[in-house]
Structure 1
Amino acid sequence: MKKRFYLSVIALLMGALACNLPGGSATSPTATNAGPDAAFTLAAQTVEAELTRVALAQPTTPVPQNTSTASPAPIASATTAPQLSPTASPIPCNQASFVQDVTIPDGTSIVTNAPFTKTWRLKNTGSCTWNSSYALVFDKNEKMGGPDAQALSGSVAPGATVDISVNLTAPASAGNYRGYWRLRDGAGVLFGLSTGSFWVDIKAVAPSPTPTATSLVVLPPAIAQINAPVVAAESGSVRSDGSVLSPKNVGDTESNVSSQGFLSFDISAIPAGATITEVKVDFSDYDTLGSPFGLGCLRMYQQNYGTLDGGDYVGGSALGALSRWCNTGEVSAVAVDDDLKAVIQALVGSSRARFRVQFNEMNTNNNGVGDMVRFGNIKLIITYTP
């Protein structure tokens, strides 16, 4: 189509040029003056201009544009790691923790070949109750004449503490010695502390040289000491109205009811045949309510009661006091008591020493004011030779 159009335009232009050639009826002054070459040049320029005009007049086909919009790349969302709930570790059946050395702290010096009693205070931190099927067993190192195994006595519930004793003998040669011990349950499973076995550690020392006739030296026997613990389940107070309470309070109440204290000490760690050399009572952990010493002097009596009940209260004026404290200064002091020493000596081989503490001059002053001595951690300090 375009080719025919261009040919028609050229033909028309050529015809027009022919009219302007020499000999035509209408003579152009320019063509006449320029000659035939100029006429051909003008015709070529005219064709070129016309072709340019036609080209510009043609519609153009638009280049298609990519109108699609690129979708943004998906953004990965952060994934939060699942939060794990803390899970409590199960408590093992058999487990113990060390509380204290009741006797023979580490490094204690003991004469060679001398017998002694080692006592550990342990706590049952497992979930199973220790009973008589459980045993203390020797583990390793220095046995010091101890048994291979020794059954536990009584029952120790989870969370409770127990004093475990074993009779040993210092080695024959001077030096430092340590023996390791563990516990064993009824099924024969061994266990100990979370850190392993517990131990007894001593320094065996040679006795002084044999005295000569001119230099007589008297050697003291081996000495051991225990802090006999109060048995909480067997101790407390009994009031004149028959009520039994766990606090160890002595005095009277604002209702003018008298209160007496009852103390049960565990002395099972003292070996049979031991000789008691000294006894002290440490009442220093206490406080007061009102003016308790307005009721008189605080006195201690031996009373071998069984299960504590209202019938253990003693009315009236009692006789046979072992010790007395007439003011707070005396209660705070820790003093040797020979009368208590005689009582403990008579009880060697027993497991308990039990006492009653009361104000003897008057049970109550009837003034409607509470007057009390309230005891905390009471200690019975016993020194002996095995």
Structure 2
Amino acid sequence: MNDGFYLSIRYIIFLFSTLFLMIALAACNIPSGSPAASLDLTALAQTAEIQLTQIAASLAATLNQNVTQPAVTPTPIILTPTPSLQNTGTAFPAEIPCDRAGAGSMLDVTYPDDSRLLPGQQFTKIWRLVNRGSCTWNRNYQVVWFSGDRLGVSPSQPLPGKVEPGESVDIAVDMLAPQQPGLYTSYWMLRNPEGKLFGIGPGGNAPFWARIQVIAIYTSTPTATPTTTPTPITLASGRFDLGLGEWVDLDLGELSGDEEKADIRLIQTDEGSIWVEVFGNAGLMIFGEVQPSVNDCRSAIFSTNRIGVESIPEGTFLCYRTNQGLSGSLRVVSISPSPLTIRFDFLTWAIP
């Protein structure tokens, strides 16, 4: 800014010098004897230049005092370090829990969902599970009923043996179909020795289940006319007490030690459940609380599987078929726990 100012001053001085020079030249043309001829024009021009220079210097000093250069404040440069990506190492998988199960290649080995069964039919449900945990299963682990319909003969039972992590195991539970037709679902889980429940699924806490359909048994009773329906002839009837381990021949209503002649027997499993077991060509069907007729039992659909005693309370009627092919009916009169004895009324007709 000061250099430009001084250039301007010098330019003014140049102009004034030029002006005085022109005046001097003009003075040279003035006639002799004129008063102006006695003046020293060169000295006058030098004097004017010196005075103008002094004025310009004074003016520059004054301007330097009044004009202040603005202070330039340097802007600080802040360097923000960029965080470098550090190697956090290899991500390790989450720790495998001790107790966890998974579905096997075939979860429902027997009786898949919506299997059709007869009322009171005994069946064995088998699941195939895989040990997905880090702990070994043994007989201290149990399969237990969790919720839903209680189809199992026993609410819990131990696993069949040792199952290492990654191995599969078939878990079998004896079950009994209810008497009323309908859809039934029974949910089960595993339980470790500390009593903690676990199961299948992503979280290892989902139960596995058995789902069955109990079908209705419809019997067609022909229209009875005196000329076509003969009067049923009773072959044998009466009452007998059936003890644990004893056989009975329903053709005669007599206890028998000959298994070939026996129709039913009362047994107890290792788990403590009580069953009425069927032999040979004999069959049983739970009828209900109403006494069946001969036509009801002749057209019944019999099961050759055993029937749980818990499903035939006192007052229940059953239809049966003997080894000789004859039809009949039973009625549970009483059940005595000690010693275990079931009292039956029976009626065997002489017609098949």
TM-score band, normalised by shorter chain: 0.3 to 0.5
Q: Give me the TM-score of the superposition, normalised by structure 2.
A: 0.44
Q: Give me the TM-score of the superposition, normalised by structure 1.
A: 0.40
- Structure having the higher Rg: 2
